């Protein structure tokens, strides 16, 4: 009779242990999934890499073979919520070829950066970098919040595509 009680007790303990194991796995899986979704939805966007805007312009409709390129590019290095890097722009006929440094921080889903104006060394501007709602992380919108003083051909607003 004691042997039957002992066997029954061990069976109950094994069943209880298995039930606890299943509950622990369920809660762990639920916690990990919720944590991953929370990080993805409120996480810091990855803006690192090369971003470029290019526009083909025809200066003279009579000369159809003459096509000029206007470009603006960003090279961004990101460490957590800190952004550093450089920008470059080129105007038609290469009348202006400039580059300058950028630095900033990510707030929520957008980055706010300070960029130097290469035309005047003491003048800086502020711009917004916001991932485009259209793309799958392959486009960002550049919008100047505060333009630098002096002559500058830095675009006020445009969409850049991620380099490959």
| Closest to 52 (Cα-Cα) out of 73, 34, 79, 81 | 73
Q: Which of 10-19, 24-33, 41-50 has the lowest mean pLDDT?
A: 24-33
20 — alpha (psi -120 to 50), left (phi > 0) or beta? alpha
- Per-residue tokens: 124: 């800086």
Cβ 161 vs Cβ 53: under 8 Å = yes
Write the pLDDT tens digit of every residue in 129-158: 998 877 677 899 999 998 877 666 778 888
pLDDT tens column, 49-63: 999 998 876 666 665
Token representation of residue 35: 């944590």
21: which 2 tokens?
A: 């194991």
- Domain ranges across the chain: 1-42, 49-162
Third-level CATH fold of 49-162: Lipocalin (2.40.128)
Predicted TM-score (pTM) of this structure: 0.64
């Amino acid at each position: 009779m004691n042997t039957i009680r002992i066997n029954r007790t061990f069976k109950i303990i094994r069943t209880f242990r298995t039930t606890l194991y299943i509950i622990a796995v369920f809660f762990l899986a639920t916690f990990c999934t919720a944590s991953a979704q929370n990080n993805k939805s409120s996480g810091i966007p990855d803006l690192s890499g090369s971003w470029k805007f290019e526009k083909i312009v025809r200066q003279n409709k009579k000369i159809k073979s003459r096509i000029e390129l206007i470009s603006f590019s960003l090279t961004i290095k990101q460490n957590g919520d800190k952004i550093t890097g450089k920008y470059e722009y080129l105007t038609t006929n290469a009348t202006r070829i400039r580059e300058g440094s950028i630095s900033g921080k990510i707030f929520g889903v957008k980055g706010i950066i300070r960029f130097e104006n290469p035309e005047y060394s003491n003048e800086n501007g502020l711009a917004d970098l916001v991932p485009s709602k259209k793309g799958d992380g392959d486009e960002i919108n550049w919008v100047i919040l505060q333009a630098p003083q002096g002559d500058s051909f830095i675009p006020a607003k445009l969409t850049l595509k991620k380099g490959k």
